Amino acid sequence: MARRKNQKKGPKKTFGTRDDSNNQKNWTELVKENEKWETYYKDLGVIPVEEWDQFKKTCQSQLPLTFRITGSRKHSKEVLQLFQEHHLPNLTNVTWENEVVKPPMALPWYPEHLGWQLDVSKSVIRKNEQFARMQRFLVVENAVGNISRQEAVSMIPPIVLDVKPHHYVLDMCAAPGSKTAQLIEALHAESDEPSGFVIANDADYKRSHMLVHQLKRLNSANLMVVNHDAQFFPRIKVDSTEGSKGPQFLKFDRVLCDVPCSGDGTMRKNVNVWKDWNTGSGLGLHIVQLNILERGLNLLKEGGKLVYSTCSLNPIENEAVIAAALRRWGDKVRLVNCDDQLPGLVRSKGITEWKVYDKQFQVREKGHENCLDSWFPPTAEEVEKFHLENCMRVYQHQQNTGGFFITVFEKIDTSTAETPVPASETAAAVEEQAQEPELKKAKIDTSSTASHIQKKEKLPRDANEEPFVFVDPNHPALAKCWEFYGIDDKFDKSTCLVRNATGEPTRTIYHVATPLKQLIVNNEDRLKIVYSGVKLFVSQRSDIDCAWRIQSESLPIMKQHMNSARIVPGNMEILKKLLTEAFPRYEDLTADNVDPEFISKTQKLSAGCTFIKVDRNDPSKEDLFLPVWNGSKCINLMVCKEDVHELLYRIFGIETTSKQNPKADHMAKKAQEAADASANSSKEETSEKEEVPAVTVTETSTAE
């Protein structure tokens, strides 16, 4: 290809460039060295001298692949058992190019053996048959939300946050969403309908939509994704209680502040850190990090917990931020000692002394011009009071991970304090007033105005954004659904919404958890909501009894509230048939004698959405509850391709490739048979095909 006119001549770059000479694709890796980084951390002494060589060597090596099995799913133990019994034995004592390959190992500190680490090269995973099978297993389970790939140290903050099903949780800087997923899993650990919720926020609009893509797999009605600057996260109004003065604002039981950072703990996977690292990044982020932490503490309920974390080892972004917050909050907060948590996790204590290098890489003393006092270490008196040793530092070489910093705050419950809060002011008002000066200063430093803090609370909806409009539970469309599917009154029928300006059910109806409904209704002018709710009903053919089909993602909730003849017990044989064949005809199923009772009961039902319930007769395994389309002549299992692959393998041990679609393959085979059939049967075949398109459209909607 000819060189563009504006392209400069000269030697090619060494990182990520290709040498096309002799048609060879040779790539030169970035040299993983940075003199300032090495000088800085050696001088700070955060890594013991005798461990430095091992630390640096680990930082320069490939980061292991780690994943966790989703703990909120009732069949998580089944997925774990499948991995341990069908894959792990074949991954032990494997040799590749005359070297023994390390087998996968359970992370010793992750609860219930649901976290795993795999320290092998990508070439082994691609080319070794057993590792390739395992990779396929991970891909399939990840696609349906049973497994999440996530860096090991990134799993720590949500665990120590200790989320319970009744908690109101805020993730202030959530994208890309792996930690948020853990929070949702903890919320659903005991029930598909927890009373708490998770609000996931990210300041970047595009990243907030990436967050939605990551979290939709979990199918939680207790999730809301919003798009705000975490430093100025708005107060959220709740219903005013009787006799209260003015609006009441939400306080969270748990807050996660995984703040933006310089990211030198990620240099094993983000190689650009090696060439880009400098002291200026940490210094520049310090105030932003402190503001986010301050805002998080402000929004935290008394008695609640907040986790502050970074993927940086720099004390300017870590202990310095923690110390600055402790100075401001005094006895209202304390740092939690987590030594008794996560047994098996090798970690170091927080530090209390460090040098401050400015952007010119010069060591500075406190009081120097252009240096913030909060950058510097605490005084001897503060060291004794703050207990910074309760902070956790996880270094790369300690257990072959990335680097991370984690601190757990607890907000003191002042209701048991000796000095009462003045009657003229609520505790919340005192905190709001206390936070204002710091926020104003930070906003002035970023070329804005203090008045903008108040304006940030009211955010008009963008013209391109779809609204969240709740539907009257007595609306004819909903009333028909309640009757048709036998939905009981324990289900909150006022939680159904649509996302169009008319407020009329047209194509999709969503469901959100009851407490989130109240927040959406009360904060239309405050919250920039990106996503909330799971699909409940999707429109289908209008020439049948009920024009709405229950969507698969809401079935874990709805099956608990349904009492209907449309739920038909089936056996494993009919389930396997439905997983591998698309639109099998009733007459063929009857001839094959596949679960006659299921076929008989289903045929008597009117056309439309029906459900198959399979009892697996094993208390250790979850029973199955899946949607099917009941036609006049045929039936079809309404699950997406990813679920088909996963169910075939988990239930029946049938492995498929990524290019395979068992039901589509069956359709192609049927089409070929039809093409080869005699002319005398062409009319009958045409009649059968006329029934398929309408149902096929419905299946596509399911996959959506």
HEC secondary structure over 51-103: HHHHHHHHHCCCCCEEEEECCCCCCHHHHHHHHHHHCHHHHCCEEECCEEECC
pLDDT above 70 for 671: no
Confidence (pLDDT) at 694: 30
Confidence (pLDDT) at 464: 54
Please report, in range form, the residues annotated as the binding site: 173-179, 202, 229, 258
Strands (DSSP E) along 376-454, which ranges? 392-394, 404-411
pLDDT tens digits for range 175-192 = 999 999 999 999 999 889
- Provide the H-helix boundaries in 169-263: 178-187, 205-215
Confidence (pLDDT) at 663: 62
| Residues tagged active-site | 311
Q: Which carries the bigger pLDDT value, residue 26 or residue 478?
A: 478
Confidence (pLDDT) at 665: 59
Confidence (pLDDT) at 438: 40
Confidence (pLDDT) at 414: 80
pLDDT above 70 for 82: yes
Q: Which carries the bigger pLDDT value, residue 689 or residue 72?
A: 72
Kindly indicate whether the domain formed by 153-271+288-412 is annotated with CATH number 3.40.50.150.
Answer: yes
- The full DSSP string for 475-503 is SHHHHHHHHHHTB-TTS-GGGEEE-STT-
Residue 126 pLDDT grade (very low, low, confident, very high; cuts 50, 70, 90): confident
Please provide the average confidence, as pLDDT, over all residues in the chain.
85
Q: Provide the angle, in degrees to the nearest 10, between the axes of the packed helices 76-86 and 641-652.
A: 60
Residue 240 pLDDT grade (very low, low, confident, very high; cuts 50, 70, 90): low
Instruction: Say what the pTM is.
Output: 0.85
Listed range (6-10, 427-431, 647-651) with the worst mean pLDDT: 427-431
Please report, in range form, the residues annotated as the binding site for S-adenosyl-L-methionine: 173-179, 202, 229, 258
Residue 686 pLDDT grade (very low, low, confident, very high; cuts 50, 70, 90): very low
On whether the CB atoms of residues 495 and 515 are closer than 8 A, the answer is no
What is the enclosing helix (H) or strand (E) of 504?
Answer: none
pLDDT above 80 for 383: yes
What percent of the chain lies above the pLDDT cut of 90? 70
pLDDT above 80 for 537: yes
pLDDT above 60 for 630: yes
Q: Which carries the bigger pLDDT value, residue 668 or residue 520?
A: 520
Compute the distance between CA of residue 336 and CA of residue 338 in angstroms, rounded to an integer: 6
Q: Which carries the bigger pLDDT value, residue 468 or residue 659?
A: 468
* Mean pLDDT, residues 661-672 taken together: 59
Residue 223 pLDDT grade (very low, low, confident, very high; cuts 50, 70, 90): very high
pLDDT above 90 for 8: no
Confidence (pLDDT) at 244: 57
Confidence (pLDDT) at 542: 82
Contacts for 111 with CB less than 8 Å, ≥ 6 apart: 71, 159
- Provide the H-helix boundaries in 562-681: 572-580, 586-591, 596-603, 641-652, 662-676
Compute the distance between CA of residue 420 and CA of residue 700 in angstroms, rounded to an integer: 60
Query: How is residue 121 written in tokens?
Result: 């090269």
Query: How is residue 6 written in tokens?
Result: 């504006």
pLDDT above 60 for 600: yes
pLDDT tens digits for range 139-148 = 999 999 899 9
Confidence (pLDDT) at 242: 52
